[in-house]
A = this chain, B = another copy of it.
Amino acid sequence: MQWVKVLGGVVGAAALLGLGIIVGHFAIPKGADSPAPSASASQDLDLKILETVMEQLDANRIRENLRELSKEPHLATSPRDEALVQLLLQRWQDPESGLDSARTTEYEVLLSFPSKEQPNRVDVVNSTGAVLFSCRQSEENVTGEQGGPDVVPPYAAYAPPGTPQGPLVYANQGSEEDFKKLQKEEVKLQDSIVLTRYGGVGRGAKAVNAAKYGVAGVLVYTDPKDINDGKSLPNETFPHSWCLPPSGVERGSYFEYFGDPLTPYLPATPSSFRLNSDNASGFPPIPIQPIGFEDAQVLLCNLGGKLAPADWQGGLGCDYNLGPGFRSNGIFPEDGQVNVSVHNRLELRNSSNVLGIIRGAVEPDRYVLYGNHRDSWVHGAVDPSTGTAVLLELSRVLGTLLKKGTWRPRRSIVFASWGAEEFGLIGSTEFTEEFFSKLQERAVAYINVDISVFANATLRVQGTPPIQSVVFSAAKQISAPGSSGLSIYDNWIRYYNRSSSVYGLVPSVGTLGAGSDYAPFIHFLGISSMDIAYTYDRSKTSARIYPTYHTAFDTFDYVDKFLDPGFSSHQAVARTAGSVLLRLSDSLFLPLNVSDYSETLRSFLQAAENLRALLEQHNISFGPLVTAVETFEGAATSFNQRIATLREGTPDPLQVRMINDQLMLLERTFLNSQAFPEERYYSHVLWAPRTGSVATFPGLSNAYSQAENTGHEPAAWAEVQRQLSIVVAALEGAAATLRPVADL
C-alpha cells in the first residue's frame, strides 16, 4: 500500500522547495475572513502536500476509529448517537489535529420507533384465534452483541400501527408487475397479508403497491438466494462467514420522500411550521413488518395455492406457492391466517449534525463539502461507521497539517456528520434547507463516503459527469489494495468499465439516486456530487448488498474478519476521497470537467431518438433538442479550450475566479423548480427519478410513458412537449453559462 511511484520522480526534486514555498505562503492570520496574502492567489495544488496526506492516512487508525464508533448501537437520537456527536466535536476541536472550528446544528424531526411496551408481532392463528406460530421478535444473540437493550427490534420505520389479519399470499418483490401477475392468476388479494422479499422495488413501494389491491398488511424478508448466494444454515453464516444468519432482519425506512416528513422545504427548527402528521404524505398506507428468513421459511414453505413462477422461487429449500392460505399437508390448518401487529410510534426528536470547517486561505467563500451520516440501525459497523472511520482519519491528517502550519487549503473545507440518515437523509436535507442560499452561492462539490467498504474488490464511484476527471486523476496515482501492483484506476477498470466516445475504455461512474446524503445536494441544490466506496467482485457474489445490512450482525468483528481484514480497502477509499478533496480544495482551476456532460447528453439524445417518430406524429419537433445538445457540446469544448489557453499564460486571480465560477455553477443551471411539480426536492432536469422505460431525460421519458399509458390523451402529449422544452431551456442555459462571460 504505497502512494504510487509515478509521483516520486515528478515531485522528488521539487519537494523541499515546494515545502518552503508553502510554509512561506500559508502563514495565514486566523481572524474571521482574514485575507490571504495576494501572492498566494496563484498557488496551485501542492503535490508534496498531497503525497504527505496519502502517506499519513493510516489503516490501523481507521480500524481503531471503527472499533470505537461501532462498539455500541447508535440509532439516530439515542444516547450513544449523542455521545458520538461529542466524540466528533472533540476530535474536530483537538488543538493538535482539529479543524479551525466545529459546531453542531440541531433539528427537531419526526422519527418512527417500535413500541417498547407492545412489541410488534407476526403470528399464525387458527380459525378460533389461537396462536399456532410466532415469528421472532428479535434476532438471535449469536455473538453477544444482538441482545442488549439498545438493539432496536426489527421494524419498518414509518409503517402505521395496526393489527391486520388475513390469509397469506406470496407476492414476490411486491412490485406493480408482481401484483398484476397475482391478479391475473386470480389470487385473492383483498384483506390478505402478503409476504414479499426485499429487492426489486423500494421498501415503501411494496406497501403502496399492495394497498392498491386491498391488501391488509405486508411482511418483508430477505431471501438467502438474494443475499447469501443461497447459503442459509447457521454454520454457513455469520460468525462463520459473512453471510446473514437465519434470524437476521433488515430494518429500514419506509418513508417515500427524504428529509423531515413534517417540514418539507423548511429547516426543522423547533418553531418551524409543521404539517400535521395526519396530513404528511409519503408514509406506507398499511402496516408492514420485516422478518428473518428463518421465519419466512416456516410461512412460505407451508403456503398453498398454485406454484409461483420460476423467477419468484428462492433459496428456502422448498417450492414457493402463491397462496392464499396454507397447503393441506403442511404444519398449519388450511384456513390458518397470519396476524401482523404493528405498534410503531411517530416521535419528534432532536437530531444533530456536526460540522467542522477548515477556512480557505485564498477563497474562503468557496466550500468543498465532505460528509457521511453518523446514525446506524444497530451497531452500524459497516453502515455508516466504515465511512465515519475514514472521515475521522482524513480530518485528523488534514487537521494535523493545519495545526502545524504546514498547510491551509485554497478554498474552505466543510466536514459533516449527518444525523438521522437512516430515517430518510434527514440531517443532510435539513442542512441544505437551512443553508440553501449560501450553498447555492458557494458550494463547489459534495463528496459523500457513507459505507466506505462493501467488499475488497474494486473502487465504485457514483457521481455527476464533471467529477469523473478528478476521481480518475486521484485513482491513477494510488495503489490498489492487494498484491496486484495495479493502481486503483487500473484495478477499477477491470470491474466496471464502459467505452467512451471521447476517452476509449474508462471505468464507469454510476449515477446518483437517493440512496445516501448526496441526494439533497444534487437534486435540490444542483451541487456536483459523488459517492465513493470499495465494493464487490460481482463474479464472486450476487448478494444484493453486504449480507448483514441493517441487522444486528453488522458489527466490528464482521468488518474486521470478513469485510476488510487489515483495513487496506478503507485506506484506499480514504486516499481516493482525500485526494479528490485536496484537488477540489487546492487546485487553481477547479478540477471539474464540465464537458464530460456532453457524453451523457449524447446518450440521452440517442435514446430519445427512439421516441422521435411518435413525437413528430404529435407535432412535437425533435430538432430543438438536437440543436440544444449540439449547442452545449460546442460551448463546453470552447470553454475547455479557453481554460487551456489561460493555463499557458499567467492568469490573474480574477480571471481564474471567473472560470471557476462557471465550473462551479454549471451544475446549478440544470435545476428547474417548475419541472417536476409532483416530486419533492427533485429539480435537476437530468437526474430526477425516471420511471419511463426509455433511458433519456427523465422528465421526457416519464411524460412519454404517461402519454402511452393514458391512451395518448392530448394533455399527456402537452406534458411531453413541456418536458422537452424544459430540457431545451436548461441545455441552452447551461451553454450560456459556459460561453465567454461578456457574451450575452
Contacts and interface: CB of A to CB of B under 8 A. Distances in A.
Given A265-B674, A441-B665, A742-B33, A729 B433 contact: yes
Interface string A416-432: 00000000000000000
Interface string A18-52: 00000000000000110111100100000000000
A271 interface: yes
Contacts of A441: 661, 665, 668, 737
Given A265-B674, A269-B624, A652-B41, A365 B742 contact: yes
Contact of A736 (B435, B665, B733): B435
A658 interface: yes
Interface string A344-363: 00000000000101011011
Interface string A264-283: 01110101110110000000
Given A652-B38, A652-B41, A733 B658 contact: no
Contact of A362 (B101, B359, B436, B654): B654
Contacts of A250: none
A365 B741 contact: yes
A609 interface: no
Nearest to A100: B742
Contacts of A267: 729
A286 to B, nearest CB: 26
Nearest to A31: B740
A623 B38 CA distance: 44
A654 B665 CA distance: 18
Given A35-B651, A741-B365, A266 B729 contact: yes
Contacts of A272: 725, 728-729
A653 B41 CA distance: 10
B437 A642 contact: no
Contacts of A210: none
A534 B436 CA distance: 40
Contacts of A360: 742
Contacts of A658: 33, 363-365
Contacts of A574: none
Nearest to A672: B265
A732 interface: yes
A437 B737 contact: yes
A655 B35 contact: yes
Given A266-B726, A364-B742, A437-B734, A33 B273 contact: no
Contact of A273 (B35, B438, B722): B722
Interface in A633-682: 642, 651-655, 657-658, 661-662, 665, 668-669, 672-674
A47 B424 CA distance: 57
B359 A742 contact: yes
Contacts of A672: 265
B35 A741 contact: no
A661 B365 contact: yes
A721 interface: yes
Contacts of A729: 266-267, 272, 433-434
B412 A742 contact: yes
Nearest to A35: B655
A17 interface: no
Contacts of A433: 729
A442 interface: yes
Interface in A426-458: 433-438, 441-442
Nearest to A721: B273
A719 to B, nearest CB: 9
A271 B624 contact: yes
Nearest to A32: B740
B740 A436 contact: no
Contact of A653 (B269, B654, B721, B737): B654
A41 B654 contact: yes
A641 to B, nearest CB: 11
A355 B744 contact: yes
Contacts of A653: 38, 41, 652-654
A718 interface: yes
Nearest to A438: B736
Nearest to A625: B271
A595 to B, nearest CB: 17
Given A32-B740, A657-B657, A728 B435 contact: no
Contacts of A732: 434
A312 B297 CA distance: 84
A743 interface: yes
Q: Taking each of A433, A434, A437, A624, which has the highest tally of chain B beta carbons within 10 Å of its own beta carbon?
A: A437
12 contacts: A33-B742, A35-B652, A36-B654, A38-B653, A269-B728, A271-B621, A359-B742, A363-B654, A433-B729, A436-B733, A653-B653, A657-B657
Given A36-B652, A435-B744, 18 more contacts: A32-B742, A37-B652, A38-B654, A266-B725, A266-B729, A269-B624, A271-B624, A275-B718, A364-B741, A364-B742, A365-B661, A437-B668, A438-B733, A441-B665, A441-B668, A442-B741, A653-B653, A657-B657
Interface of A: 32-33, 35-38, 41, 100-101, 103, 265-267, 269, 271-273, 275-276, 355, 357, 359-360, 362-365, 367, 412, 414, 433-438, 441-442, 621, 623-624, 642, 651-655, 657-658, 661-662, 665, 668-669, 672-674, 718, 721-722, 724-726, 728-729, 732-734, 736-737, 740-744
Leading 9 A-B pairs by shortest Cβ distance = A365-B741, A38-B652, A32-B740, A273-B725, A364-B742, A359-B742, A437-B669, A33-B740, A673-B673
